[in-house]
């Protein structure tokens, strides 16, 4: 009975950090941040999608607004969550490189989704 208590109190073995993984994770995150900044900057030009509205085409301006919010929100969520998960992975000893890759994929997906929304015309 004493042996089962002793086994239950042993701490879990700590995983060691891999140097290549830490460096690759932070370098990829360093690429994800400018990608996010660039997509946030060109999201401002979604308003140009509504320029054809003055030529008799009925446009839904709400789609442009939602497209901008989707792109900016997705970018912010991707960058913040990747940073948080990189820090957690550092302390837990998990692999780190794929969090920035997921972040870049989310940034691109939110930008494409926002651009699709901004390009919609009123039904």
CB half-sphere exposure, 68, CA atoms < 13 A: 14
Does 11 fall in a domain?
no
In which domain, by residue range, is 43 found? 19-118
Radius of gyration of the chain (CA): 22
Over residues 5-28, the pLDDT tens digits come to: 555 555 665 677 889 999 999 999
Over residues 73-121, the pLDDT tens digits come to: 999 999 999 999 999 998 888 899 999 999 999 999 999 999 998 887 7
Domains in the chain, number: 1
Does 2 fall in a domain?
no
The pTM for the full model equals 0.81
């Amino acid at each position: 009975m004493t042996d089962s208590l002793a086994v239950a109190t042993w701490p879990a073995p700590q995983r060691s950090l891999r140097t290549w993984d830490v460096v690759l994770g932070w370098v990829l995150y360093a690429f994800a941040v400018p990608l996010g900044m660039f997509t946030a900057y060109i999201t401002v030009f979604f308003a140009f999608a509504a320029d054809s509205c003055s030529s008799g085409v009925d446009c839904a301006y709400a789609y442009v607004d939602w497209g901008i919010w989707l792109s900016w929100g997705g970018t912010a969520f991707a960058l913040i969550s990747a940073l948080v998960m990189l820090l957690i992975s550092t302390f837990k000893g998990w692999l780190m490189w794929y969090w920035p890759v997921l972040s870049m994929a989310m940034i691109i997906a939110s930008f494409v989704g926002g651009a699709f929304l901004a390009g919609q015309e009123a039904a």
